Structure 1
């Protein structure tokens, strides 16, 4: 059975001479793995550079309805929806976006669980990173929202401005620079602890 879905590419690995192993985040089934046979040769099915980390792509793959950890589905084709091009023009933006992918990849490890909220959060984070004048604030905002989605971050008075605004509005967070630095340290330490539990 052929399945169509949209994913954000989390990572890719060259496999053999022309194949790729691709892991992506789907809003329907969470993190899912694929083998894209001939991806490095076929411009018709995979277009040049479509399966790059951070890319938002539409894919067709062989699915049987069942999901198992560590299983790779056969990807038939992929087409680019959005490439977040500005991320690749600035090293700090690219580094932050790859950090976002790494965090999401560690949190959402298995297939079969709907991940729409996390998918939307990641997409919004990548979009915000393309134009953000304050990447450090965006990083802390993303980390707080991830922890809150996972149920491990309280919505207390100090974190309220960070949780109420969307990531696109991270520059509107009205707290002092001292409070921002303190919050950044606190949320980053909490996320590191959560990811390595």
Structure 2
């Protein structure tokens, strides 16, 4: 029984480590995608003002790791949906030709799908949150669409960064919890022997 619990903890810690590495890589790729888009559209490097399109409950220290992962998973899920919408609109409106930006866009979309699968494995007890998405796209023409795409890409950078930071803290916390449990278990077994 103890062996099974130990394997479960190590498996979860390993999964969290893989998810953290994937989130770090994806965050870098999202930053690259945003820069490629700004350069292609000759947009300033300063962020577009306003709230993020995807909103979730704030991640507060009192939340459990499971709640944080569930909230971030919900945000990433909406980010993927928005990115797919961007791809469909860009391909229809601007007849995108293959280039650095479109290749990076595909890489980010695929990697985001992998991160969603990876974080899904970390969700505990079927706990799920829903993310809200603000106004999708107003009808303000070509420039409005470009600015909306810019905001979607900014959301991708933000939420992958939040996910990366949160997941990078998990293995350390899980390691501490795992060591505390094994110390308590070994102390308890020493007491029963005496």
TM-score scaled by structure 2?
0.23
TM-score scaled by structure 1?
0.23
Q: Which structure has the greater CA radius of gyration? A: 2
Structure holding more helix per residue: 2
Structure holding more strand per residue: 1
